[in-house]
Amino acid sequence: MKRLLYLLVLLPLGINAQNMYNVSSLFENDLRGTARFVGMGGSMSALGADMSAMGTNPAGMAMFRSNDVSITANLDMKSNTADYEGTTFEIDKTNFFIGNAAMVCAIECDNENLKFFNFGLGYRCRNNLSSAFEMCGAANGYSQQYVMEQLYRDRKFAYDNLQDWMYKDFRYSWLPLLAADAWLYDDKGNFITNPDTTLIWAPDELAYFEEVNGGVHTVDFNVAGNFNDRLYLGATVAVSTVDYDRYSEYIETDAVGDIYILENNRYVKGSGVDIKLGAIVRPFKYSPFKVGVALHTPTWYNLHEYSSAAIIDMYGNRITTIDEGLYGDVLAVQNHLKTPWRVNASMAYTFGTYLALNAEYEYADYAKKTFTDRGNIYKSQNEEMKYNMLAQHTVRVGAELNLGGFAARVGYNYVTAPFAKDAYKELYNASAAETSTEYMNRFDKNVVTAGLGFRGKMFYLDLAYLIEMQNAEFYPFYDYEFENPGAAVKMRNQSFVATLGMRF
């Protein structure tokens, strides 16, 4: 039996719209950067001398001995396959975007100890959230309507006379209000279920579709110093912008046609800032062995969410939650969020100019308090994260073989799951205006990369290929009374990366 949290709070009052599934995508960093960085699996935190080091260990920027400027293009091909009760759906989405653009100014210093003092400026796509997902299958007795009925049961309203409170306040959960708008009751005074608990309108099939566009983009400002080619120190201030939208449809169908279609629209924008501090040490004077450590502060986000929902009943009528008198054309909510602290430890070794190796480990505890409380508004959301989210461990390894002006690279990442296996979306302490019931629990992630590099006297070209593999379980809703099944999901992302740069 999965944990059912906080049953003492039976009514979803308030309008705070964020939950752990909404914000978890802001916790993680995609493997993005220059093609050299991607080709080595992002494992360059102790090796340094790459633009993307600004985002992992900023001390790596101190290893540049000349000015550098580069731009990187990405082609992402994402594929999601869902198997729900024996029915399989696959959907693809392709995106082309600029993943990285950066420059570094290397200043040689006439100082006994400080050899170089460098400045870096870079842009990177921190998270490309653009994707699509679809599932469909036999209902087998399960239905989102039971969730609506449970919320209605906790605080009932006169469903045959909705004008006095329909989407005008947050006293009643909007999900059963939508059910009432979709005529999920009969002329005998039964709402959603009959007296024997069977559904008035029982579905034969369930279906779900969603599409996400946008992501998180970051501008990095870096300073770094090289002290006697033995100690490297650096700091990065990162300013991020959030801009993405999400549209979803949930459908229940019987032999006649659609019983109802539930639509959800959500647009999130905002900004955040974080600081990264790093150090790399070459402990032995005549050895190329290096060790590095970096500390990433939380990213403090100020987010604005704009959302609305609509239900299309069995007769084709479309009713929205929009109430002009209350909040205009959408529900607008402001949230303050901080991501977890991160710690990165790394080591690197080079064999002459021919072979470079790097390995690193990164830790972030997702279970820590995340929402900024104001009068305990987010107490239940923070408690939900404490019990359902995990500390995340990331291991990266990479290698580069140099043969004159040609280089070959390989890399690998292993990232542990962000959610407990039995985590679920809690609606009883969510916003009254929360009308999306779906959630996905992602498991461990594996990333394999490879790349090639070509160096001239001034210009260089790097190419990389990445394949990211992660499985998950998707639930269109969670009914704690009947323990509904989930869909087995395979998520695959193939990315082709090309960097053109110039050193001078």
Q: Which residue has the higher pLDDT, 21 or 343?
A: 343
CA 408 – CA 424 distance, rounded (Å):
43
Output the pLDDT for position 110: 86
* pLDDT over 70 (residue 6): no
Report the candidate in 30, 32, 36 with the shortest Cα–Cα distance to residue 49: 36
* pLDDT over 70 (residue 464): yes
Q: Is the pTM of this model over 0.85?
A: yes
CA 393 – CA 459 distance, rounded (Å):
37
Average pLDDT over residues 119-136: 96
CA 95 – CA 98 distance, rounded (Å):
10
Output the pLDDT for position 219: 97
Percent pLDDT > 70 in the chain is: 89
* pLDDT over 80 (residue 367): no
Element (H, E) at 228: none
Output the pLDDT for position 95: 94
Q: Dihedrals φ, ψ of 180, to 5°?
A: -65, -40
Average pLDDT over residues 356-363: 98
Q: Supply the mean pLDDT for the chain.
A: 89
* pLDDT over 60 (residue 29): yes
Output the pLDDT for position 480: 81
Tell me how many degrees the CA angle 445-461-411 measures, rounded to the nearest 5.
25
Output the pLDDT for position 332: 74
CA distances from 27 to 19, 385, 431, 442 (A): 13, 12, 21, 13
CA distances from 473 to 80, 91, 99, 146, 494 (A): 12, 16, 29, 21, 21
Confidence of residue 323 (pLDDT cuts 50, 70, 90): low
Q: Which residue has the higher pLDDT, 61 or 432?
A: 61
Residue pair 412/358 in contact (Cβ under 8 Å)? The answer is: no
CA 55 – CA 32 distance, rounded (Å):
10
Output the pLDDT for position 310: 93
Output the pLDDT for position 262: 97
Q: Which of 87-101, 202-216, 330-344 has the lowest mean pLDDT?
A: 330-344
* pLDDT over 80 (residue 304): yes
Q: Which of 372-381, 393-402, 437-446 has the lowest mean pLDDT?
A: 372-381
Q: Which residue has the higher pLDDT, 2 or 307?
A: 307
SS3 content of the chain, % helix, strand, coil (to 5): 10, 55, 35
Confidence of residue 444 (pLDDT cuts 50, 70, 90): very high
Output the pLDDT for position 8: 29
Confidence of residue 163 (pLDDT cuts 50, 70, 90): low
